[in-house]
Every structure is written in C-alpha cells, then in structure tokens.
Amino acid sequence: MTEFLDERVRNLSVIDIGLIKFAVFFTALVIVKLFPQLITIDFTILILLAALCSAKPFYDFWYGKNVKEG
C-alpha cells in the first residue's frame, strides 16, 4: 500500500504540496471554528504532538536510506 502511495506522490510538484498544506491549514481552522474547546488544549501538549508527528519525516529527510553522503 505504501509503495503505491509513494509512486503517486512522486507525481506532485512543490506547488501541489504547498497547496495541500494550505488545504490542511484551512480545514484545521474550520474544525477549530466548529469545536472552539480545542483551543483550550495546553500549549505543551500541542508542541509534543507536533514533535511526534514530525519526527519520522525529519529523520527520513535527513538520514533516510536514499540520502547521498557528502
């Protein structure tokens, strides 16, 4: 399944990925607008969640098996 998705993502440009990020951002705004109690979540929990979600992509980008040495 992930191989199929990897092949599909290779067809996306940087602009496409940027537009996806904006779509996710605006979707998050709609969700917060619908459920305002989400704003009361402690800031440190949000930072922890952001760090956990970004750990694997960060590792793969900088230290993944396809990274060329020097």
Q: Is 68 left (phi over 0), alpha (psi -120 to 50) or beta?
A: beta
- pLDDT tops 80 at residue 31: yes
Residue 26 has pLDDT above 70, yes or no: yes
The answer for residues whose C-beta is within 8 angstroms of residue 12's C-beta and 6 or more apart is 20
Domain map of the chain by residue range?
2-60
pTM for the complete prediction? 0.68
What's the mean per-residue pLDDT of the chain? Answer: 90
Query: Contact 38/46 with Cβ under 8 angstroms?
Result: no
Res. 15: pLDDT tops 80: yes
DSSP H stretches of helix in 1-70? 2-9, 14-34, 43-63
